[in-house]
Amino acid sequence: MSTENLVEAEILDNIDPLRHLRVDDEAFVPVQPPTTHRQIQPLSFGDVHLDLLVDAGPGCGGIAWPAGEVLSNYLVHKGPEYLRHKRVLELGSGTGLVGLVAAKMGASKVIITDQLPLLDIMNQNVALNGLQDSVVVQELNWGSEIPSLGEIAMVLAADCVYFEPAFPLLVQTLVDLAKLAGPKCDILFCYKQRRKADKRFFALLKKQFTWSDVGEIHVEDGQERTYNREGISLYRLKAK
Ligand SMILES: C[S@@+](CC[C@H](N)C(=O)[O-])C[C@H]1O[C@@H](n2cnc3c(N)ncnc32)[C@H](O)[C@@H]1O
């Protein structure tokens, strides 16, 4: 099995631990669709509510990941002035969650991007939440040329560090976007710590960017919390 398949397999195992037993007619467990199969998940971040179609079928991006929820919470916590009139681009959007929240918080245009298999669920989530006027779905494979996207004031990425061969590609895309968008562009990068190899991502990132913790405090479930917790860190990147 290639490294890509191993990482993908590990993530899918978390979603459906019995999936290896469902391989064919001889299997111990009858073949089933993925555990998360076209479900609508209602999600709330403060006063922002949305319905998210989740489906593990198109791959690991088809469900909402924890760093995406943390970044969504942060955007809501910052209030509507933070995103008003801004054009935003999200990398590795998966279901589109973070970008949809950015649109609900008043961004003038949000470009949610991912690889081809995810575009359908992203489009469905845009329609499900009635955000066709402000959100566009665009294929963007890290490391490949950035399509012409117009001015970008903010780049968002959540839970995008998990597959080692993609590390240089993701860094390259962040570099390309930072150049295109210019120094005023805010890059929010929400990272969930998973494996030791992640260090290699940050070694590559360090050659091109500096970053700082977004250590702001907010109240959640009546308790004061920061955005860096439970292995999740929210960073603001600056190109060197
Ligand atoms: C763990 S998921 C996180 C999804 C979403 N940001 C969230 O927080 O719920 C990682 C996402 O990165 C995307 N991705 C992985 N490799 C990519 C690549 N080379 N180019 C573009 N997107 C990629 C996957 O398709 C997936 O949607």
Residues 6+ apart with CB under 8 A from 144: none
Q: Which helix (H) or strand (E) holds 175?
A: helix 167-181
For the entire predicted model, the pTM comes to 0.88
User: Which residue do the tokens 């562009």 mark?
Assistant: 185
3-state DSSP percent of the chain in helix, strand and coil, to 5: 35, 25, 40
pLDDT at 134: 98
pLDDT at 23: 53
Residues 6+ apart with CB under 8 A from 13: 19, 20
pLDDT at 223: 78
Mean pLDDT, contiguous 10-residue spans, the chain (240 residues): 58 64 55 70 94 87 91 93 96 97 98 96 98 98 93 96 94 97 95 91 97 83 76 94
Atom of ligand 1 nearest to the CA of 141: 20
Q: Residue of the nearest CA to atom 26 in ligand 1?
A: 61
134 is in an annotated binding site: no
Probe ligand 1: pick from 159, 188, 232, max atoms within 8 Å of CB? 159
Q: From the CA of 226, how far away is ligand 1's center (Å)?
A: 24
pLDDT at 224: 77
186 exposure class (CB count in 10 Å sphere: 0-12, 13-18, 19+): middle
pLDDT at 170: 98
Q: From the CA of 92, how far away is ligand 1's center (Å)?
A: 4
Q: From the CA of 119, how far away is ligand 1's center (Å)?
A: 11
Q: Which helix (H) or strand (E) holds 188?
A: strand 186-192
Residues 6+ apart with CB under 8 A from 175: 208, 239
What does the buried/exposed string (b/e) look like for 9-37 if buried means 16 or more CB atoms within 10 Å of the residue's CB? Answer: eebbeeebeebeeeeeeeeeeeeeebebe
Q: 208 vs 59, 175, 200, CA distance in Å?
A: 30, 7, 13
The pocket around ligand 1, CB under 6 angstroms, is made up of 59-61, 64-65, 67-68, 92-95, 97, 114-115, 118, 141-142, 158-160, 162-163, 166, 169
| Superfamily per CATH, domain 38-239 | Vaccinia Virus protein VP39 (3.40.50.150)
114 is in an annotated binding site: yes
What are the residue boundaries of the structural domains of the chain, listed by start?
A: 1-32, 38-239
* Strand pairing category for 154-158 and 87-91: parallel
108 is in an annotated binding site: no
Report the distance separating Cα 213 and Cα 226, nearest Å: 10
Q: From the CA of 222, how far away is ligand 1's center (Å)?
A: 32
Q: Residue of the nearest CA to atom 4 in ligand 1?
A: 94
Please answer whether residues 65 and 96 qualify as being in contact, where contact means their C-beta atoms are separated by less than 8 angstroms.
Answer: no
